[in-house]
Each structure stands twice: as structure tokens, then as C-alpha cells.
Amino acid sequence: MTTTKIREALRQPRQLILFAPYLAGILVLVILPAVSPAYVLGTWTKFVIFALFALGYDLIYGHTGLLSLGHAAYFGAGGYTVAALMLHYNMDSLWVGLPLGILIAALVATIFGFMALRVSGMYFLLVTFALGELLYSVTWNWKWLSTPGMQGISGLPRPDLGIPGFTWNTLSFYYFVLVVFLICFFLVHRIMYSPFGHALRGIRENESRTQSWGYNTWLYKYTAFIITGAFAGVAGVLFVYYNRFISPTHVGVATSFLPMIMVIIGGSGTLLGPIIGAFVIVFVEYFASLFTPERWPLILGAIFVAAIMYARGGINIHLSRLWQRLINRYGSTKG
């Protein structure tokens, strides 16, 4: 009797406590880069871009349960779209580049997803991988997609926001990326808690049951695939604006692996997991490349193995368990 009363009384503050990690995360993302040294700021920007990539990827992997190994294709499609616009048409407006990049990425996902979703499980992974490599070889061989004399498109400017007198610096560019990220985070959050997002998790848990309850599961998987393709496109566009250079490597399997590893390390099927995973990968890569650049793949492999062996379910689960313990302690001292 008394315990339920206490629980009732704690419900409101509890919800605040549950919201606290998000608030803390946003504060960290807003304040910390501003006070960190300029040379680390680029790494923060890269981290936010890849957090966005992983967050979108998790919709298809963590929520729907489909393991795709070709998401660099949509990342690259978005990136190459804005890069080609700048190279061939001198069009560096954000308001043309970003929407077009998202559109092309979603379009590629619409075509590739249609083919890949004819099969399931390991075959789905292989088909997405093969289609990604197909796009990789296109970017490798199609001269139109390269600055003359090299592989890839280089020397790209930052986007034009259309604000007169505005010039970019590293910090303002970081905040621009952060704003796009927060919009995408909000969208993923909404999708995750919507009936659509619930249906995706239903498909992950038991597809034939979800179908017998009236869901056209194929259409759900296809839609989710296109949505993740669009998010990957956003990340690709931002990456080109950040990196000012895109090469076939950014369309290939090495890049496809990144969101997958980030999601697995951070924790799939959660909102914070992909972000934590992206943080670990991007920052460890940064510090590793300071000391032993050539050993980075080895370190990446070691992190991956360690995460699977000692932090199964992802770092996020362990963090939230710790957090839960803190809340419980806080709750019990009140009681």
C-alpha cells in the first residue's frame, strides 16, 4: 500500500530522471565542442555525422531485424549527388544539394531495397552487400564522378546557406551539423514510438505473427529500408560538406561496416546505442591515428571483438543498467 503510494509520488520526478540522459547528451553536444581545442572540433563534427548515419541504420537493423551490409551505397549516393552538383554545375546551395542528395539516396534505396527484400536473413545481407559493391564500381569507373586525374571528387566548398555575408568557420559548421542531427534524432524518436515503429519491432520479433495481425510486413520492411536510405543520404551529404572530398571508398564495404559496428558496439534497437557506438569508434580512431595510424584496423577489430564478448547487447545496455541502479538507489533513499 505504502510502496504504491511512494511509487505514485515518484512517478513525476522519475520521468524527469528518465529524460535526464537526453538533456545531458544535448548539453554535452552543445557545450563540449565549443570549449574543446579547434583540432578536435573536426572529430566532433565527424562523430555527429556518423551518429546520424548509425541512428538511421539502426531503424533497419535494430528495430526491423534486417542486417544490411550495403548502407554506404545510400551514404555515397547522397554524398556523390552534392559533390557532382558542385563539380559540374557549380551548385553549392544547401537548399538544392541536401534535398536532392536525400532524394537520390532514397531513390537508390527504393531500387536496391526492392531487390534485396525478395530474400531474407543471410541472403539479404549478401544482396545488399553485392548491390553496394555495384555502386562502388560505378563510382570507381564512371569518369563523370571524378575530378580529372584522380579517383573521387575533391576540392569541394562548404554549402551555401543563402545568407548574405555569412562565412563558415569550424564551430558554426559543427552547429549546423548538430542541428540537422537533432532534427533527424527527433524524427527517428517519433518513428520509434509510433505504431509504425512498433510494427517494425513486431516484425523483428515474429514476422508471421505480425502478418496474421493485419500488417503487410513486406511493405513495412520496404518503407523502413527507404527511410534508412534517406537518413544515410543525409549523413552522406553532411559528410561531403565536412570532408570536402569523396572517393569510391566512401561507397564501399569499409564504410558500410561502420554504422553496423557502431550499432552493435553501442547497442541496437535503442536511441542512444548508435550514438554511443559512433562516439567510441570515431574518437578511438582519432586517438589511434595520432599514435599509430597504420594499426587502426587492428584496434577497430579488437574493440569489436571485446564489445561482442564483454558487452553483449551493447554499451548502452550496461550504461542504462548502471543508470537504473542509480535511480533505484535514489528511489529507495526517498522511501
Partner 1 sequence: MEALRVEGLSKDFGGVHALSDVSFSVERGERLAIIGPNGAGKTTLFNLINGQMLPTSGKVFFWGQDITHMHAYSRAHLGQARSFQLISLYLNLSVLDNTLITLHGIKRSRFQMLRPTTAYTDLLAKAREILSPIDLWERRDELVRNLSYGEQRRLEIALTVALEPKLLLLDEPSGGLTSAESSEITDSICKLGRDITVLLVAHDMDLVFGIADRIMVLHYGKVVANGTPEEIRADPRVKEIYMGIEENAGNTTAT
Binding residues (CB under 8 A) for partner 1: these are: 187, 190-191, 193-199, 201-202, 205-206, 208-217
Pick between residue 195 and residue 293 the one whose CB is nearest to partner 1. 195
- Give me the residue label for grid cell 553496423: 260
| C-beta of 217 vs 255, nearer to partner 1 | 217
Which residue, 219 or 326, is less far from partner 1 as judged by CB? 219
Please, which residue, 199 or 280, has the CB nearer to partner 1? Answer: 199
CB nearer to partner 1: give 22 or 193: 193
For residue 270, the minimal CB distance to partner 1 (Å) is 12
Q: Which grid cell is 273?
A: 546505442
Instruction: Tell me the C-alpha distance between 109 and 233, whole Å.
Output: 10
Nearer to partner 1, 7 or 325 (CB): 7
Q: Give the cell for residue 265.
A: 558496439
The distance in angstroms from the start CA to the end CA of the chain is 13
CA diameter of the chain = 77
What single-letter amino acid sits at 37? P
Which residue lies nearer to partner 1 by CB, 95 or 186?
186
In SS3 terms, the chain reads as CHHHHHHHHHHHHHHHHHHHHHHHHHHHHHHHHHHCCHHHHHHHHHHHHHHHHHHHHHHHHHHCCCCCCCCHHHHHHHHHHHHHHHHHHCCCEHHHHHHHHHHHHHHHHHHHHHHHCCCCCHHHHHHHHHHHHHHHHHHHHCHHHCCCCCCCECCCCCCECCCCCCCCCHHHHHHHHHHHHHHHHHHHHHHHHCHHHHHHHHHHHCHHHHHHCCCCHHHHHHHHHHHHHHHHHHHHHHHHHHHCCECHHHHCHHHHHHHHHHHHHHCCCCCHHHHHHHHHHHHHHHHHHHHCHHHHHHHHHHHHHHHHHHCCCCHHHHHHHHHHHHHHHHHHHHC
177 vs 192 by CB, closer to partner 1: 192
Query: With respect to partner 1, which residue has the nearer C-beta, 227 or 307?
Result: 227
Cα–Cα distance for residue pair 262/279, rounded to 1 Å: 8
